Structure 1
């Protein structure tokens, strides 16, 4: 049984069954893929982690340490993807029947594991996330039947 920071019991977050969805055809997927490669190479993506910035720089990406922006050349990205495993599993701590098998045939919906910023529910202002925010999102996610996993990295 999980405990909140206030000591209240929280039920373990259950995994929902996977869904199988195919909305786009191969041509549409290729267009999205090419557009994504272009954005990552020409615009880049912000990484707030110094460690991540160093890893990208060492791998050959164009890193601006001041703005924390990383531009990833298409050949670098595609080379990394070619080395990545085609299948992997998120193993449940409780029961193998709750394992999530990522093999390209299923769709799982989960939460953002790197939500370093949040919108304060009372002030409606953007601010850094707190442990209390992570706790609240875990509780909310537990009640959403469409969420397959909760990620709070």
Structure 2
């Protein structure tokens, strides 16, 4: 299955944050990601399912790699544990550090502009917590 057949996955917003996330996937440090359920609902997108594959795009919108979802849960933010936080590959030492970073991102101007309002972020806010595996890394020379 080629990239054209796969749904695209874009981490954060284009720029340094996305580039760090893609790099962490390619290096094997990042094996989990979290999305705000409200963003999926606003976009009319289904929550990913186990076995689903995605083409991860870089900041220029080009495929960087293919990942496969191995576990997905919709849970309140308070249920994210230290193990999951570390699997995000962003250097979080524990769930508290993960939470602080995700609260800041979910309340950011970019997310607020997209949703048309600043979302309420608290213990009960639902997030989509995915674990994935790297299926293939793309040749930097192109496709």
Q: What TM-score range do you get, normalising by the shorter chain?
A: under 0.3
Structure 2 length as normaliser, TM-score? 0.25
- Which structure ranks higher in relative contact order (CA pairs < 8 Å, sequence separation ≥ 6)? 2
More strand by share: 2
Structure 1 length as normaliser, TM-score? 0.24
